[in-house]
Chain A
Amino acid sequence: MGPMTIKENHATWKEGVAKNITFIVTKDCQLACKYCYLVGKNDKERMTWEIAKSAVDYILSNEQIFTEESVIWDFIGGEPFLEIDLIDRICDYIKLEMYRRNHHWFNSYRFSLSTNGINYDSAKVQDFIKKNLDHLSVGITIDGTRQKHDLNRIWKGDGPERGSYSDVVRNIPLWLRQFPSAGTKVTISSPDIPYIKESVLHLYSLGIHEVNINVVFENVWKPGDDKLFEQQLMGLADEIIDNDLYSDFSCSFFSESIGKPLDPVLDNQNWCGAGLMLAIDAAGNFYPCTRFAAYSLRSKQPIIIGNVIDGIQTDLLRPFLSLDRISQSPQKCMDCEVASGCAWCQGENYDAADTPTIFQRSTAICLMHKARVRANNYYWNKLYCKLELLEANRKPLENNNTTIK
């Protein structure tokens, strides 16, 4: 019997009650994606073993602070696999220490990495994957068709732009063999809109069954983008439904729960998990999420909530942990009749705010959300009609004691 996948291994995995701890192991990357929110990438700030070890020691020594049932040890960059030796050493140390300390996270943990996929087949990365497969999830970012992917995801450096599609797509079969249920994350900015439909279908054709896709939260949208976006999603809806792809493939743009009004009392929770997470950078500073580190911020100072030596300053976490929807939303969001599913990023809210606060919600995606809701309504109405028709056709057959597959 082969190793269990993460999903099969759910008996030891408490989805939803996990602490997410992110090591920013490097701020370097081979690529220079045009939509990347990391404005301060560089090849100087690499995490040392001493900092990583101090972070692990602090976290595992303070079980009274980190009470969640499970943990996701996340490694992020830049491109995390550039630091595979360090990551491998950290993971070995975490496993050893959790066992030695009889820590409540032992056997209830996951390592998680999100990669550009370029180094995926290297010997060191493959050795790491094989060693940790039972407790590992790896996401490869591929944006869709070659045209769409290479529009944004280009190699770093001077000279003519060079897309990275070929360097990534060659590793997709290996990745899917190792993580058959893995999904990919697609990011949509203004220039990408015309390629959404064909890109999602292309990813399906590569064997990727789960496409997690979202528009960027930054204020990049041009007049008319919402109309074009709606058309693309409706076209995608037609393809998914007409070709019966809906039973085997998913696209996060379509969800039955979005586009409804929200109750000011019952639906007052924050969207974002900033503050519930903990991120650590190369200097050993703690952040409520990587988006509050200096390299992620255009116009604000980083929000540092402690460090590996002094620990977490709990007062600085109180705004994040008490933040609710009402306190940060403008009146138009409170009055919005299609509010459910409209997301926000706390880091982008902070970066775009008029004052240094996390309590001012950016509404840059307002029109895009509304366009998504219209297309989403179309999707579900069309799908229900089709399923009802199927049901109607099935009943007479059942009455004749005939079964269909």
Chain B
Amino acid sequence: MLKYLVIILSNRSTSYCYYDVPDSIAEKNISTDKLKEAILFGMKENLMIQFVFPEYDLPEEQMQIIDSIDHIQIKPISNASRNDIGIVNNWSQLSDSNECRTIVIRTSINDLTQNHDMLLNALTDYERVNIVLTDINVASQSLISDYRSWLIEFANNGFKELCMESNRIPQLNIISDRLNLKAMNNCNAGVDTLTVGPDGKFYICPGFYYNGSESVGDPADGLNIKNDELLKLDHAPICKVCDAWQCKRCVWSNLHRTHEINTPGRGQCLISHCEREASRQLLSSLKDNGIVLPDTQIDTIDYNEPFETLTR
């Protein structure tokens, strides 16, 4: 059942996930009529609306329409206010002057591993930090191995020390989310979340808009996703046997890598299992230090990713 409506306000709205906004794409805002239609759809369907902003200011008329409804704003971090989700596309954008409490850092694996200290600082400066690995679809096996080594070391040292010092577990999606979950908690684009592009039409997620996919309806004619069952967990043979519950299970990435919306590429699965393993080791280490998370257990496994269990 749909819960969220993402409205991309401009062709140049910031990316907040794996997809890229092409540098060449022209600056074009959603029309005011389309914006109203999208908001009305969200109200009638009882959806929580999330607006995605560009770097530049939108017309005052549109801002007034946006402010007429409860919503969340996703903005480049330089423009983000306290309650917004701030998007960081470059580590140098992190500064003391940022107001928001939740940030998304879009980073390559190499840049992440080279900004160990900045990440630790961010975990004390912000209430929640989400890491989005922008090279998830092209990362080589050796790069993923590097990520695994770095993440486990980070979890067992810097991150654990933060836990011990603050007597709480900082919210970092790639380590802490798995500790708090009891079942799959994925992006669920097209199932929980629907996107309205700057053209006023529906897309499964912003990635589908930016890669030129056909729309899946519009507010006037309604939603029409063919084979929409394939977006659901029970129709994803690899994912439904997986317990890397924090994985985004990105259907846009799936389509890119395997040409099937319900089938992840090996890279996405390996990376999610690096994170699962880092969480597992952290949990074990915390337990050794007397910190117990009730009802939380992450087992050791003898595979790198769940596809291996299907093909044994």
Contact = CB atoms under 8 A, between A and B. Distances in A.
A binds B: yes
Interface of A: 303, 314-316, 318-319, 321-324, 326-327, 353-360
Contacts of B257: 315
Given A327-B235, A356-B259, A318 B266 contact: yes
Contacts of B264: 318
B121 interface: no
A322 B265 CA distance: 12
Interface string B258-279: 1111111111000000000000
Contacts of B307: 318, 321-322
Given A303-B259, A358-B260, 13 more contacts: A315-B258, A315-B266, A316-B258, A319-B259, A321-B307, A321-B311, A322-B263, A322-B307, A326-B235, A327-B237, A357-B230, A357-B260, A359-B230
Contacts of B235: 326-327, 359
Contact of A318 (B227, B230, B234, B265): B265
B259 A314 contact: no
B258 A319 contact: yes
B227 A324 contact: no
A316 B238 contact: no
A203 B258 CA distance: 44
11 contacts: A315-B266, A318-B265, A318-B266, A318-B307, A319-B260, A319-B262, A319-B263, A322-B307, A327-B236, A355-B227, A359-B235
Contacts of B261: 357
B226 interface: yes
Given A318-B238, A327-B235, A359 B260 contact: yes
Contacts of A303: 259
B310 interface: yes
B146 to A, nearest CB: 20
Given A315-B258, A316-B259, A357-B260, A322 B227 contact: no
Given A324-B237, A359-B235, A318 B226 contact: no
A359 B266 contact: no
Contacts of B226: 354-355
Contacts, number: 56
Interface residues of B, number: 22
Nearest to A360: B227
Contacts of A359: 227, 230, 235, 260, 262
Contacts of A327: 235-237, 262
Given A323-B237, A355-B227, A314 B263 contact: no
Contacts of A324: 237
Contacts of A356: 259
A357 B267 CA distance: 21
A321 B238 CA distance: 10
A302 to B, nearest CB: 11
Given A316-B258, A318-B238, A354 B263 contact: no
A318 B238 CA distance: 9
A358 B230 CA distance: 11
A357 B236 CA distance: 13
B258 A357 contact: no
Contact of B258 (A318, A326, A355): A318
Q: Which of A322, A327, A358 has the most CB of B within 10 A?
A: A322
Contacts of B258: 315-316, 318-319
A116 to B, nearest CB: 34
Contact of B310 (A321, A326, A354, A357): A321
Nearest to B311: A321
B204 to A, nearest CB: 12
Contacts of B238: 318, 322
A184 B227 CA distance: 38
Contacts of B267: 315
Contacts of A358: 260
Interface string B263-297: 11111000000000000000000000000000000
A322 B237 contact: yes
B277 to A, nearest CB: 21
A353 B238 CA distance: 21
Given A318-B266, A322-B310, A354 B227 contact: yes
Nearest to B310: A322
B279 to A, nearest CB: 24
B133 to A, nearest CB: 17
Q: Which of B237, B262, B267 has the most CB of A within 10 A?
A: B237
A347 to B, nearest CB: 15
A354 B230 CA distance: 12
A324 B238 CA distance: 10
Nearest to B227: A355
A357 B227 CA distance: 9
Interface string B214-230: 00000000000011001
B128 to A, nearest CB: 31
Contacts of B265: 315, 318
Contacts of A322: 237-238, 263, 307, 310-311
A326 B234 CA distance: 9
Contacts of B310: 321-322
Q: Give me the 9 closest cross-chain CB pairs, A-B, nearest first.
A: A319-B260, A315-B265, A322-B237, A319-B263, A354-B226, A315-B257, A355-B227, A355-B226, A327-B235
A267 B125 CA distance: 52
B46 to A, nearest CB: 27
Q: Which of B226, B238, B257, B258 has the most CB of A within 10 A?
A: B258
Nearest to B225: A355
Nearest to B264: A318
B283 to A, nearest CB: 29
Contacts of A321: 307, 310-311
Contacts of B227: 353-355, 357, 359-360
Q: Which of A318, A355, A356, A360 has the most CB of B within 10 A?
A: A318
